[in-house]
Amino acid sequence: MTDPRLDRRFPDAAAMEAAALRRMPGFVRDYVEGGIGPEDAAARNIAELRAVRLMPRYLVADSVPDTKVTVAGAVWSAPFAVAPLGLGGLIWPGCEPVIARATAAAGIGHVLSTYATTAMETIAPLAGPGGWFQLYPPADPGMEADMIARARAAGYPGIMVTVDIPGATRRRRDMRSGLVVPPRIGPRMLAEIAVRPAWAFGMAGRGIPDFENFSRYYPRGGGLDAAAEFLGRMMTGHITPDRLARIRAAWPGKLIVKGVLSVADADLALSLGADGIVVSNHGGRQLDAAPTAPQVLPGIRARLGEGALILADGGVRSGLDMARMVALGADAVLVGRPFLHAAAALGARGPGHLIAVLRAELETAMVQLGCARLTDLRGCFWRGEDG
């Protein structure tokens, strides 16, 4: 159930996005919204998903839509999880624990980024059984082994290994705004912060957030420059099949590979022991020529078959968008930027409201389409032929 008072001001994710963009400092907005290069992929994610047509069936039996889905052995109340999002605490002060708690309360999934500003040990108990840890495998095998051991000790049932960051990227908005990792606040940023008081007050009590998942590995005493050099060295390089096999062997729980776009990578990931994949172009932030999930999902589902676990992301902004992704072949989706928008627009109430809105929209869409179960949505994808 959505809250009617919140619904009046924020009926959908778009309303939360509009409010969020007014409340974030410019360099934060650029980091969140930005894509790679001219940002075609980021725009196409939204446009191509929205162009997917679904054919309703009205002469069917009445039914209450069932939005539950089983993902790698866990039941989610609706087919979505929060995507891993780096730098959460810089985007909206204190948002990471709030988002994790909201997903646990709603019984949906949550994936904490390696680049989160809250430690995996802090988030695991808040996110509950739907909580996963996203791993960017570091170049140093010792550090990789330690992160895997920590994720296990923290109680995560699964890790999501992101494979689509083989090298440094050139995001022009971040280059212009001067955002670097770890963040350091320059004079231009201070000017942007000064006109965003809600963000500034939220940050004032907390201080500039750190990457709590790996700040312990930074070289001692070298300051921000040494930390930046260390990160540049650690977080690069392709995840070769050997590396993925090594991680698979070291991790006893479920493992999903994120950042798959080709049938060949999908096949390889599963043959190396992955329990599933996320079809994703990283929100259009890595390769501007990359295809979108709607373009490649049907082919990947056809190849892997109905038994394989396939998640997808990029441009999901409504429950109807979730229905579209499921119709194209996904079991469930990841939702990225909208959770940051919700936290920025509404503070602690935002993530819970967004979840309620997305779920209500999905149920509405399923009723309109005449689908009682999520799997029924597969039959609704309309390719343009008659009927």
Ligand X SMILES: Cc1cc2nc3c(=O)[nH]c(=O)nc-3n(C[C@H](O)[C@H](O)[C@H](O)COP(=O)(O)O)c2cc1C
Residue selected from 193, 293, 335, 344 as contacting ligand X according to rule CB under 6 A: 335
The least CB distance from residue 101 to ligand X, in Å, is 19
Residue of 16, 28, 45, 79 that binds ligand X (CB under 6 A)? 45
315 binds ligand X (CB under 6 A): yes
Nearer to ligand X by Cβ, of 312 and 377: the residue is 312
Q: Is 191 exposed, middle or buried (0-12, 13-18, 19+ CB in 10 A)?
A: exposed
- Identify which of residues 183 and 283 has a Cβ nearer to ligand X in the complex: 283
Closest CA to 283 of 315, 328, 319: 315
Which one is catalytic: 110, 238, 282, 353? 282
Q: Sort strands 69-71 and 74-76 into parallel, antiparallel or unpaired.
A: antiparallel
Identify which of residues 181 and 372 has a Cβ nearer to ligand X in the complex. Answer: 181
Q: Describe the chain by its helix, strand, coil percentages, rounded to 5.
A: 50, 10, 35
DSSP secondary-structure letter at 290? Answer: P
How far apart are alpha carbons 339 and 324 in whole angstroms?
Answer: 19
Residue 282 as a binder of ligand X (CB under 6 A): the answer is yes
Residue 179 vs residues 31, 173, 369: alpha-carbon distances, Å: 8, 9, 44
Q: Which of 235, 200, 224 lies closest to 86, judged by CA?
A: 235
Question: How many chain residues touch ligand X (CB under 6 A)?
Answer: 23
**Other CB atoms within 10 Å distance of the CB of residue 183:** 21
Taking CB under 6 A as the criterion, the residue among 316, 343, 356, 369 binding ligand X is 316
In terms of CB distance, is 50 or 184 closer to ligand X?
Answer: 50
- Residue found by looking up tokens 């994120």 in the block: 258
Q: Closest CB to ligand X among 45 and 103?
A: 45
Please indicate whether residue 282 is annotated as part of the active site. Answer: yes
Q: What string marks each residue from 160 to 199 as x (binds ligand X by CB under 6 A) or -?
A: --x-------------------------------------
List the x/- string, 83-122, binding to ligand X by CB under 6 A: xxxx--------------------------x-x-------
Cβ contact 113:90 at 8 Å: no
Considering only the stretches 68-76, 122-130, 244-252, 333-341, report the one whose residues sit in contact with ligand X under the rule CB under 6 A. 333-341
Whole-angstrom distance, CA of residue 286 vs CA of residue 168: 9
The answer to whether 90 and 117 have CB atoms below 8 angstroms apart is: yes
Q: How far is the CB of 31 from ligand X (least distance, A)?
A: 6
Ramachandran region, residue 150 (left: φ > 0; alpha: ψ -120 to 50; beta: rest): alpha
Residue 80 binds to ligand X (criterion: CB under 6 A): no
Q: Which of 47, 71, 34 shows the shortest CA–CA distance to 331?
A: 71
Letter for the amino acid at 387? Answer: G
Q: Which of 67, 118, 134, 318 binds ligand X (CB under 6 A)?
A: 134
Residue with smaller CB distance to ligand X, 48 or 66? 48
Residues identified as active-site: 282
Residues at the site binding ligand X, with contacts judged by CB under 6 A: 31-32, 45, 83-86, 113, 115, 134, 162, 258, 280, 282-283, 313-316, 334-337
